[in-house]
A and B are shown apart, each in its own frame.
Chain A
Amino acid sequence: MTSPNAEGWTVVVGVKQVPDSDEVRIDPDTGRLDRANAPAVLNGPDRDALEAALSIRDAVGGTVTAITMGPPTATAVLEEAVAMGCDDAALVTDRAFAGSDTWPTSYALAMAAKHLNADVVVCGEETTDSSTGQVPPGIAAHNGWAQLTYVEDVEPLPEENRLAARRDVEGGHERVAADLPVVVAVAYGEFDARPAGLHRKIFAENDFEPDQLTAEDLSIDPGDVGMDASPTQVGGMDTVEPVERKNEILEDVADLLEPIAATAEVDG
C-alpha cells in the first residue's frame, strides 16, 4: 500500500468527443448513417464523470486532470472540462493510435494515467457512439488496478487509502471499498454536473492549451496500439430499419379497448 497522500489525491478523468447523438441521422438519399455532419460534442455520460471527479477533489483536496485520446480537434472537450473546474487537461494523441478498438484505447489511457500518477481515474458509464463501456475496466486491467463500475456515489476514505462507492447491481445495490489506485466508471444520470464558471470558461476558451502526450511520451511501442493491435474489427454496419407501426392517434380512450382485446386473443 502506498502511504496516504497529504497533498490530496491526483484524480484523472477520461472524456471523449462523440458525434451528437441527437444529430446522427440516416441520410434519406443513401440510407446510410450520416455521422460526419453531426456536430462533435462531449459524450453526455462524461458530465457525470467530471462532476464525480471534482467532488472527490472537493472532499480530499488535490487535482483533477482531464484526458482524452483523440485527434487535436478533441481539444474542445478538454476546454469544456477545464471550464467546469478541472485544474489541467492532456490530449493523448498520436497517429499510431488510429483505428484502436477498446484494447489499445484502454492501454494508451492506462499509460497516460500512470504517467500522471493517478490515484483515481474517473470515467463515464459508456459513450453514446460505440457504447461498449469496456474502456474503464480495460484501463484497470492494463494497470492491474482495482475498478468500480456502475457507481452511483463515491466516498473517498483518505485515511485508509481507499475509495468506497455505491454500485448498482442486478436487483439492488452494494457498497464496495477498493484500494487506490482505482478506476471508477460512474452511472449515467447519477451526478448532476455543476455549471461552468464564467471566468473559468473565458480562461479555457482563450488561454488554455492542453499538454500533448504522444506514444513516445508514454513509452508506448507503436506496434501495441492502433488497428494492428486491436483484436476486434468492425466487419460491417447496417442501418436499422424502424419497426413498422400503425401510428394512429385516437381521440377517444374507448377506442383503445378493441386493440387491447385483440392482444388477449393473440395470446389465446
Chain B
Amino acid sequence: MTQQDDEMAAEGTEVDEVERASDVWVFLEEHAGDVMPVAWELLTEGRRLADDLGEDLVALAIGEDLEDVATEALARGADRVLVADDPVFEPYRADPYGTQFREMVERRHPSIVLIGGTHTGRDFAGRVAVPAHAGLTADVTELDVDEDGQLLARRPAFGGNVLATIVCPEHRPQMATVRAGVFEAADPDPDELATLRATDDSIADNDRIEPVEVFIDEVDTISEVLVRDVTERADVTDADRLVAVGGGVEGDLGPAIELAEALDADLAASRKAVDEGWIEGARQVGQTGKTVRPDLYVALGISGAIQHVEGMNDAGTVIAINDDPNAPIFDHADYGIVGDLFEVVPQLTALLEGDEEV
C-alpha cells in the first residue's frame, strides 16, 4: 500500500467508526446496591440527549445483585439496561471495571458514554477510553449535541476561569465524566416502578434488561481491596440552606453546628476543612467537590479560592464571615461581616433563636 492508500484506509475506518456508533450510555455507579445520585442525574440528562438524537438511552450496571438498580433505571427513563452481574465487581476495583466496560463498548459501539465524575468514575474511565481510543472529556458541567449529532462537552479549566468546549470529531465513543450535582435528577415514574417491582423474576422476564457476558476472571485481577470503610454519605447538593466551614474554624465546628441548627441548614465545607479531617469529604464544595445550589450559603472562615467559589456560584444569597477584609470571598458574597467568626457566629445564632420570623 502506498502512503496515500494508507491514509485513505485510515480515514475510511474513522468515518465508519463515527457512523456506526449509536445510542447514549449512562453508567449507573453503585456500591453494594447503593446508587450514587450523579447516576440518576445523568439518566435525566442522557434522556434529553438521546431524544435530541433520536437514539436509545442505555443504562449500564456493573456489580452484584443488580435487580433493583436495573428496574429503577427503567422507571427513570432508560430504554434498556445492560447488567454485568458478578462477585468480581464487588467491591469496586479499577481493573475489572475497566476491562468489563471496555469490552462492552468495543462490541456495541455506543456514540456517547456518560460517567459520573466521582472518584470511582474518574478512576476507571481512562481504562475504557485508552484501549478503545475514545475521546474522554473530564469533569463536564454542560452537555449538548450540535446539528451533526456531535457531543459538545463543556468543562471548567484554569481553576474555573474558563469554560472550554471539548469535541471529539473522529473517534467514538464520545466519553465524558460529569460533575456531581450539576444536573437535576427527575423522579422515577412511580407506576412503572411499582409494576416492575411487582414481578419477582422481573430481570429474567423483562426484555429491556439484558444480562451481559462477564469478561474478567478473579485470577486475572491485579489489585485487591483489603478494607473498605464507608459510612453514610451526606448529600449537600439538594440542601436549601448550607453553612460552610473553612480553614478559619481551626477544627472547632461547634459554632457552625449551632448556627446550622438555628437556620435549619446542612453543613458544607471547603477542601481545607476536609483535608484537615474536620468534616467528611462528601460535604466538600468546589471543583473537586460538589456543586451546590442552596437558597442561602453562609461561608465561615473560607478564603474564597476560585476552586471553592466554582461550586457555590449557583447559590441564591451568599453570606461571608471572615476576619480578613481582603479575603476574596467578599467579592463572591452578597453580605459580608468582617470579624472573628468565634464572636460573630454565636451572636448571629442568638439573634436567630430570638427571632421568630426566621
Contact = CB atoms under 8 A, between A and B. Distances in A.
A267 B119 contact: no
A179 B95 CA distance: 11
A260 B358 contact: yes
Given A128-B159, A238-B162, A256 B119 contact: no
A260 B349 CA distance: 12
Contacts of A33: 158, 161-162
Interface stretch (B61-69, B209-217, B311-319): B311-319
Given A133-B138, A149-B119, A253-B347, A171 B233 contact: yes
A233 B165 CA distance: 8
A125 B287 CA distance: 13
Contacts of A103: 129-130, 133, 135-136
Contact of B156 (A189, A240, A260, A261): A240
B355 A257 contact: yes
Q: Could you say which interface size class chain B belongs to? A: 35 or more
B358 A172 contact: no
Nearest to B287: A131
Interface stretch (B42-50, B186-194, B334-342): B334-342
A227 to B, nearest CB: 12
A249 B336 contact: yes
Chain A interface SS verdict (over half)? mixed
Contact of B334 (A131, A246, A253): A246
B333 interface: yes
A132 B129 CA distance: 13
Q: Which of B126, B157, B287 has the most CB of A within 10 A?
A: B126
B119 A176 contact: no
B152 A235 contact: yes
B358 A233 contact: no
Interface in A23-47: 24, 26, 33, 35
Contact of A176 (B158, B223, B271): B223
Given A103-B129, A170-B120, A259 B334 contact: yes
Contact of B295 (A146, A171, A248, A263): A263
Interface in A60-118: 101-103, 106-107
A112 to B, nearest CB: 16
B169 interface: yes
Given A263-B296, A263-B317, A242 B332 contact: yes
A263 to B, nearest CB: 4
Interface in B132-174: 133-139, 152, 156-171
B167 A235 contact: yes
B337 A250 contact: yes
Interface stretch (A134-142, A199-207, A213-221): A134-142
B232 interface: yes
A79 B170 CA distance: 39
Nearest to B338: A249
B231 interface: yes
A171 B282 contact: yes
B85 interface: no
A101 B91 CA distance: 31
Best-surrounded residue of B130, B223, B306, B344 (most CB of chain A within 10 A): B130
Interface in A144-159: 145-150
Contact of A175 (B165, B225, B325): B225
19 contacts: A102-B136, A102-B138, A130-B138, A131-B159, A134-B125, A138-B126, A138-B129, A141-B131, A149-B123, A175-B226, A177-B223, A178-B224, A233-B168, A235-B164, A235-B165, A237-B165, A240-B156, A242-B332, A250-B335
Interface of A: 19, 21, 24, 26, 33, 35, 101-103, 106-107, 125-126, 128-134, 137-138, 140-142, 145-150, 164, 167-179, 188-190, 231-240, 242-243, 245-250, 253-257, 259-264, 266-267
Given A174-B91, A260-B319, 4 more contacts: A146-B94, A174-B228, A232-B135, A239-B161
